[in-house]
Amino acid sequence: MNNVALKSSTGNKIANRAVISETLLELGRKDKNILVLTSDSRGSAALVPFGKELPDQIVEVGIAEQNIVGIAAGLAHSGKKPFVASPACFLSMRSIEQIKVDVAYSQTNVKLIGISGGVSYGALGMSHHSLQDIAVTRAIPGLHVMMPADRHESKKMIEALINYPYPVYVRIGRNPVEDSYLSEQYDFEIGKATTMKDGKDITLIATGETVRVALDAAKLLEDMGVHARVLNMHTIKPLDEDAIIKAASETGKIITLEEHSIFGGLGAAVAEVVSQHHPVPMKILGIPDEPAVTGKTAEVFQHYGISAENVSTIAMSILKRG
């Protein structure tokens, strides 16, 4: 098993978007075909330093999300490596048809980075939350979908995406997130879940910022004598079906965690595999079908029970049922 997970909080203050921008700058210096496109979003995407150092490699399109995706498709078709950095709520909704047709259907090598995703715009409400983006993007043939757990994984993911030949939608949050990984010293492979912690009693499958919650829940469970397995499903499509089937058969129970609607996201994707290959009891934890409550991410998570305490309580109740 991998021994990659960080046991507890380090109080990390570096946001995933900052790491992604630094990584793109580092790679962009060496490859002038790497371009970033922004929709008046270079500040939100932490791309100001990139724009200052590599002004010929940043393309500003203004507040026009349909246009940004179309232009990126045209650039990719002409041999460029475009990374679109635009708020997830607009990128995944306003321009979904361009994503479907110009990117996925035409198979242009565009990397779509949905920034400020999930509930990270907290108080701004449903217009700015993106809690349907995974459901929508993963239903599009040819488009791959990913969510990094922390800053270390953000860096590894961007490095892996530079020469990845498929279009990808990556969703990240706005604010610094607690580390889940000890460091960048681990093997990251697109499409392969990371076993953050092994266990035989139940499996917690999480993605993005909820990986840390799953790790903390597993720790609580360990204190109660329950050995939970924790899988970080950073790639939601193509999904690591083998890891899911293995978890179902070896642990017999699954809880999924995500910062997304309970419809169509990670939980639904896992349930599609489990129900057809190895049915076991499951709990899908996420945002219910309502305009999400507003507040800071931690407050919203707490409200909907996406917390270590609640996950361990649910786990115990599933285990009691046998």
Report, in Å, the least distance between residue 113 CB and other proteins. 17
Q: Check: CB of residue 248 under 8 Å from CB of residue 274.
A: yes
> Residues in the chain, how many?
322
* The one among 44, 74, 252, 302 contacting other proteins by CB under 8 A: 74
* The one among 93, 105, 159, 305 contacting other proteins by CB under 8 A: 105
| 28/148 with CB nearer other proteins | 28
Which of 63-71, 185-193, 291-299, 302-310 is the region at the interface with other proteins (rule: CB under 8 A)? 63-71
- Angle at which helices 308-321 and 210-223 cross, to 10°: 60
Phi/psi for 40 (5° steps) reads 60, 30
Tell me if 93 contacts other proteins by CB under 8 A.
no
Tell me if 73 contacts other proteins by CB under 8 A.
yes
Tell me if 263 contacts other proteins by CB under 8 A.
no
Q: Check: CB of residue 21 under 8 Å from CB of residue 49.
A: yes
Coil, helix or strand at residue 60: strand
Range 37-56, binding other proteins (CB under 8 A): 56
| 108/297 with CB nearer other proteins | 108
Query: What does 292-310 look like in DSSP terms, one character per residue?
Result: PPPS-HHHHHHHTT-SHHH
What is the number of other CB atoms lying within 10 angstroms of the CB of residue 79?
Answer: 8
Q: Check: CB of residue 313 under 8 Å from CB of residue 157.
A: no
Tell me if 219 contacts other proteins by CB under 8 A.
no
* The one among 16, 86, 108, 210 contacting other proteins by CB under 8 A: 108
Percent composition of the chain: helix, strand, coil (DSSP 3-state, to 5): 40, 20, 40
Query: One of 65, 153, 178, 258 is an active-site residue; which one?
Result: 65
Scan for tokens 């990251």, then name that residue: 188
Query: What does 115-160 look like in DSSP terms, one character per residue?
Result: ES-BTTTGGG-TTT-BSSHHHHHHTSTT-EEE--SSHHHHHHHHHH
Report, in Å, the least distance between residue 86 CB and other proteins. 13
Tell me if 303 contacts other proteins by CB under 8 A.
no
Report, in Å, the least distance between residue 51 CB and other proteins. 15
Tell me if 102 contacts other proteins by CB under 8 A.
yes
Tell me if 186 contacts other proteins by CB under 8 A.
no
Report, in Å, the least distance between residue 177 CB and other proteins. 33
| 93/271 with CB nearer other proteins | 93
Q: How is residue 277 written in tokens?
A: 């290959």
Q: Check: CB of residue 174 under 8 Å from CB of residue 223.
A: no
The answer to whether 65 is a known catalytic residue is yes
* The one among 78, 127, 275, 276 contacting other proteins by CB under 8 A: 78
Count of residues engaged in binding other proteins, rule: CB under 8 A: 30
C-alpha closest to that of 236 among 305, 96, 116, 135: 135
Tell me if 226 contacts other proteins by CB under 8 A.
no
Tell me if 80 contacts other proteins by CB under 8 A.
yes
Q: Which residues bind other proteins (CB under 8 A)?
A: 35, 56, 59, 61-62, 64, 66-67, 69-80, 82, 97-98, 100-102, 105-108
